[in-house]
């Protein structure tokens, strides 16, 4: 497939060789950035390109271009595909403004109302029609596989994002409509492909609500989960001496959005929705909800002034000593905590 070129926004990194570990680190960093991150992760492959879009730090939508056809896909489909190792894939991460993000989504989710070349249509007539109708519209001018975006609001051209950086004679100070006309009719008179979108409504992926309930980074951490499954767990009846020597815990999510997940972590550690060692995507859990610490040979659970509180073995607590096998409820999530001894 000929490489498609799109407006880039702010490039965080570009065309980095794919590895599963690099992908996990990238997803984790996006999650840590939280609501400040808006942008897209792009995966280029020899015969396709895949996109994952983020809005306020959460995965919002996904899409791909295969056989030169743009299409929306579910976030799970994106993750399933990209989790497969390949030496021929590269990753790029871009921050975008809201309009660039919307333009990419329109391109992947909607069919253009008009698709012609500039030798078959007068661009000025399109601009006049949009202006007279005082409508919103999105126009792409494509040359040499570079997609250049133009946005209209209430009939007026408001913003341009160029992928083609060779647009000689066009300056950012020029009116957007003028930039568009200069690009559409180059000196060499090469026909430019024109795509006009009148329906510019976009939608989040159908599985966004479900995806928001867990960290994508965690979904990729297969090796860590396998390690947790194989961990030596002290039985509930283990001697107190062994419990006091526990320097790690295995935490199993027995109920809630991430039911079935397991974490094998050293102490001390914190548990929370975002700013924590163990991050659980449950909106009823505080960002840093609780901590586990070793004190005088005992493992202590502390609620860190969480909004919804904590329940340990059926009782609301602020601070309590745990035994191996203790059950902790935080928000809609229930955890079982086992001591790991060596």
Rounded average pLDDT over 130-138: 94
Reported as a single tens digit per residue, the pLDDT across 35-75 is 889 999 999 999 999 999 999 888 899 999 998 899 999 98
For the segment 13-21, the average pLDDT, to the nearest whole number, is 90
pLDDT digits (tens, 9 = 90+) for 156-165: 999 999 998 7
258 and 332 assigned to the same domain: yes
Last residue of a domain, which of 197, 227, 254?
A: 197
Sequence-separated (6 or more) residues with CB below 8 Å from residue 150: 138, 139, 140, 141, 157, 159, 160, 176, 179, 180
Domain boundary among the residues 41, 68, 96 is at 96
Average pLDDT, rounded, for the chain: 85
- Compute CA distances 19 → 16, 84, 214, 215, 322, whole Å: 9, 9, 22, 19, 39
The domain of 254 spans 245-340
Q: How far apart are CA 63 and CA 65, in angstroms?
A: 7
pLDDT of 187 higher than 70: yes
Alpha-carbon distance of 248 to 116, in angstroms, equals 63
Q: DSSP 3-state assignment of 275?
A: coil
Task: Considering only residues 6 and 172, tell me which one the structure prediction assigns the higher pLDDT.
Answer: 6
User: According to the model, what pLDDT value does residue 167 have?
Assistant: 66
Please enumerate in sequence order all residues whose Cβ is within 8 A of that of 273, keeping only pairs 6 or more positions apart, or say none: 279, 280, 281, 282, 283, 285, 286, 287, 289
Tell me the whole-structure pTM to 2 decimals: 0.67
pLDDT at 63: 96
In the prediction, which pLDDT does 85 show? 65
Q: Does one domain contain both 55 and 140?
A: no
Smallest CA-to-CA distance from 263 within 282, 248, 247 is with 248
Of 210, 217, 5, nearest in space to 104 by CA: 5
- 232, HSE (Cβ side, Cα atoms, 13 Å): 7
204: in domain: no
Question: Residue 281 sits in a domain of what CATH number?
Answer: 2.60.200.20
In the predicted model, what is the mean pLDDT of residues 93-103? 96
- The predicted pLDDT at position 242 comes to 41
Outline where 189-269 has alpha helix (H).
Answer: 208-211, 216-219, 222-229, 240-244
- Taking the CB of residue 185, how many other CB atoms lie within 10 A of it? 15
70 vs 68: CA distance, rounded Å? 7
pLDDT score, position 165: 78
Whether residue 230 is predicted with pLDDT greater than 50 in this model: the reply is no
Say whether both 86 and 142 belong to one domain: no
DSSP string, 47-67: TEEEEEEEETTEEEEEEEEET
Residue 325 lies in a domain: yes
Same domain, 274 and 310: yes
Residues 89 and 121 in one domain: no
The whole-angstrom separation of Cα 290 and Cα 311 is 11
Residue 142 lies in a domain: yes
When divided into structural domains, the chain yields a total of 3
Q: Is the pLDDT of residue 267 over 50?
A: yes
Q: Which of 206, 199, 200 is nearest to 73 (CA)?
A: 206
Q: H or E stretch including 30?
A: helix 20-33
Checking if the pLDDT of 244 tops 50, the result is: no
């Amino acid at each position: 497939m000929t490489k498609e070129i799109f407006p880039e926004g702010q490039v965080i990194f570009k065309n980095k060789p794919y590895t599963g570990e690099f992908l996990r680190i990238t997803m984790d960093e996006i999650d840590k950035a939280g609501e400040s991150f808006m942008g897209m992760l792009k995966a280029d492959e020899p015969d396709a390109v895949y996109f994952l879009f983020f809005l306020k730090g959460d995965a919002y939508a996904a899409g791909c271009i295969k056989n030169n056809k743009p299409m929306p896909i579910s976030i799970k489909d994106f993750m399933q595909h990209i989790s497969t190792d390949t030496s021929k894939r590269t990753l790029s991460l871009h921050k975008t403004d809201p309009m660039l993000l919307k333009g990419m989504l329109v391109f992947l989710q909607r069919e253009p109302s008009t698709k012609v070349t500039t030798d078959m249509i007068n661009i000025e007539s399109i601009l006049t029609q949009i202006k007279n109708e005082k409508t919103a519209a999105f126009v792409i001018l494509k040359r040499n596989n570079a997609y250049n975006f133009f946005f209209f609001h209430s009939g007026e051209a408001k913003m341009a994002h160029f992928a083609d950086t060779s647009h000689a004679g066009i300056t950012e100070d020029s009116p957007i409509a003028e930039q568009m006309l200069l690009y559409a009719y180059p000196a060499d008179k090469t026909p430019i492909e024109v795509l006009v979108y009148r329906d510019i409504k976009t939608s989040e992926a159908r599985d966004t609500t479900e995806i928001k309930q867990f960290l994508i980074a965690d979904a990729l951490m297969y090796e860590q989960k396998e390690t947790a499954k194989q961990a030596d767990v002290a039985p509930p009846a283990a001697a107190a001496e062994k419990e006091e020597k526990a320097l790690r815990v295995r935490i199993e999510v027995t109920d809630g959005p991430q039911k079935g997940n397991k974490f094998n972590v050293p102490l001390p550690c914190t548990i929370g929705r975002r700013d924590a060692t163990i991050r659980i995507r449950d909106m009823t859990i505080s960002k840093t909800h609780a901590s586990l610490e070793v004190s005088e040979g005992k493992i202590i659970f502390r609620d860190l002034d969480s909004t919804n509180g904590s329940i340990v073995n059926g009782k609301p607590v602020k601070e309590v000593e745990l035994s191996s096998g203790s059950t902790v409820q935080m928000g809609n999530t229930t955890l079982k905590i086992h001591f790991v001894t060596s």
